Amino acid sequence: MTSLINALPGALAQGLIWGIMAIGLYITYKVLEISDLTVDGSFCTGGAVCAMMLIGGHNVWVAMLVALLAGMVAGFVTGILHTTLKIPAILSGILTQLGLWSINLAIMGMKANQALNVNNYDMLVSLRYLQDVSKGLRPFWQHPLFSVGLFTVAIIAVLYWFFGTELGCSIRATGANGNMARAQGINTNFNKVLGLMISNGLVALSGALLAQFQSFADINMGRGAIVIGLAAIIIGQVTFGKIFRNFALKLLAVSLGSVIYYVVIQAVISLLDINSNYLKLISAVIVAVFLAVPNIMPNLQKGKKEAGHA
């Protein structure tokens, strides 16, 4: 239990960081109704670009902006493959993700990872800051939970505003009913490309934050990102779906779903003393449980009612 309590702040902070990635995935998966597998590559792209920019002596905000733009370029490529070349969306994402493996290596100077020493670079968030703030060595606003939480709220606010505009509503209409949207004169291909760009930009931004948080960028850091993102969306939907109806609250539910996911993962590893090599298996079980619950519960409730009438 002590190990869980000690690891909890880090798990919460990491959950918030991955929550930004999940929000990006929500735009394609739920708003556009597109299964985009680019995220496994664009997440690493964001981390690699941010790390190399910091190593090159650039300001952390500039590094994160460039990481965001790099992710948007990745989304643009997927969008063009899908809309212009008529390649199915899921295959377009796979092709972009495959190409990004080599590009990410090139960004990092053909190295599998690049270290970021927290003492040498001025970063927005770091695991070290958890201890520094608790010891009074840094101001409270540099605590990862505060800084990433504020970042998440700002992103949700901007997205809520954007998807309330005419352009944002047209993107939502494209996902809801593409044929009807085209009948109304909406350029659905443009909206798909733009939605993929926004999504992967947020994913890359999340990767940039994680690279700072863990003090390194690694070529494998985006592996399994799609699973974590879908887990966050599903957990948020199952847990808060009935009470969070507003679009902004739905995005918040996705972020909270990511936090719950990481807390559950940390609890399982800490309390049951399970080898961390089983992390992928644990993740698959957790996602399967949250996927099954909405389908099983109605049948259980129906069975109870029939038993009561009998």
Residue 99 tokens read as 């190409």
pLDDT at 130: 82
Give the domain ranges of the chain.
2-223
The pLDDT tens digits along the chain (310 residues) read: 666 676 778 888 899 999 999 999 999 999 999 989 999 999 999 999 999 999 998 999 999 999 999 999 999 999 999 999 999 999 999 999 999 999 999 999 999 999 988 888 888 998 888 888 878 878 888 888 899 999 999 999 999 999 999 999 999 999 999 899 999 899 999 999 999 999 999 999 999 999 999 999 999 888 888 888 888 998 888 888 788 888 999 999 999 999 998 888 888 877 777 777 777 788 788 778 877 776 776 666 666 666 666 5
Cα(first)–Cα(last) distance of the chain, in Å? 45
pLDDT at 206: 95
For residue 259, give the nearest of 12, 33, 69 by alpha carbon: 12
Q: Which phi-psi region, left, alpha or beta, contains residue 138 (left: φ > 0; alpha: ψ -120 to 50)? A: beta
pLDDT for 140 equals 82
Cβ atoms of 90 and 35 closer than 8 Å: yes
Report the pLDDT value the prediction gives residue 280, as an integer from 0 to 100. Answer: 77
The string of DSSP letters for 270-300 reads HHTT--GGGHHHHHHHHHHHHHHHHHHHHHH
Residue 249 tokens read as 């609250």
List the beta bridge partners of residue 299.
Answer: none
Give the CA distances from residue 79 to residues 71, 90, 190, in Å, rounded to whole numbers and listed in that order: 12, 11, 9
Residue 201 confidence (pLDDT): 96
What is the pLDDT, as a whole number, of residue 268? 80
> In this predicted structure, what is the pLDDT of residue 301?
63
